[in-house]
Chain A
Amino acid sequence: MTTPSSPVGSARLAVNILHFARALRAAGLPAGPGTVLAAVEAVEAVGLDRREDFYWALHAVFVSRADQHPVFDQAFHVFWRNPDLLKRMMAMMLPRVRTEVEHAGPQLSRRVAEALKNRLDPEPEEPPKTEIEFDAALTVSAAEQLQRKDFDKMSVAELAQAKRMMARMALPLAEVPTRRFRPDPQGPRIDPHATLRRMLRTGGDVAGLARRRVRTRPPPLVVLCDISGSMARYSRMLLHFMHAVSNARTRVHSFVFGTRLTNITRHLRHRDVDVAVDCVAGAVADWSGGTRIGTALGTFNRRWARRVLGQGAVVLLITDGLDRDGGDGLAAAAERLQKSCRRLIWLNPLLRWDGFAPKSSGIRALLPHVDDFRPVHSLDSLASLADALSRPGPRRAAGMDGWTAMLTAGRDRDEHPQYQPL
Chain B
Amino acid sequence: MPHPLPHSVDETQALLQRGDYVAGRDLSTALFLALKLRRPLFLEGEAGVGKTEIAKVLSRTLGRRLVRLQCYEGLDVAAAVYEWNYARQMMEIRLAEAAGDRDRTALAAGLFSERFLIKRPLLQALEPDDNGPPVLLIDELDRTDEPFEAYLLEILSDFQVTIPEFGTIRADEPPLVILTSNRTREIHDALKRRCFYHWVDYPDAERERAILRLKAPQADERLAAQVVGFVQRLRTMDLYKLPGVAETLDWAQALVELNQLELDATTINDTLGTLLKYQDDIARIQGSEAARLLAQVKTELAATTAR
Contacts and interface: CB of A to CB of B under 8 A. Distances in A.
Nearest to A299: B238
B196 A179 contact: no
Contacts of A283: none
Contacts of A301: 240
B29 A46 contact: yes
A53 B9 contact: yes
B184 A306 contact: yes
Contact of B73 (A61, A178, A306): A178
A60 to B, nearest CB: 4
Interface stretch (B86-94, B118-126, B263-271): B86-94
A229 B33 CA distance: 52
Nearest to A43: B33
A384 interface: no
Interface in A86-106: none
A19 to B, nearest CB: 21
Contacts of A56: 25-26, 29-30
Contacts of B107: 203-204
Q: Chain B: interface residue count, which band? A: 35 or more
A53 B29 contact: yes
Contacts of B74: 178-180
B90 A196 contact: yes
Interface in B186-225: 186, 189, 192-193, 196-199
B93 A204 contact: yes
B9 to A, nearest CB: 5
A302 B186 CA distance: 16
B111 interface: yes
B307 interface: no
B193 A66 contact: no
Contacts of A47: 8
Listed from nearest, the 10 A-B pairs whose CB atoms lie closest are A179-B74, A56-B29, A192-B86, A64-B192, A60-B196, A204-B93, A60-B30, A64-B197, A66-B199, A56-B26
A308 interface: yes
A53 B24 CA distance: 11
B170 interface: no
A302 B239 CA distance: 7
Contact of A200 (B42, B108, B240): B108
A308 B142 CA distance: 11
Interface stretch (A34-42, A162-170, A392-400, A407-415): A34-42
Nearest to A54: B29
Interface string B108-150: 1001000000000000000000000000000000010000000
A310 interface: yes
Interface in B39-80: 39, 42, 44, 72-76
B37 A42 contact: yes
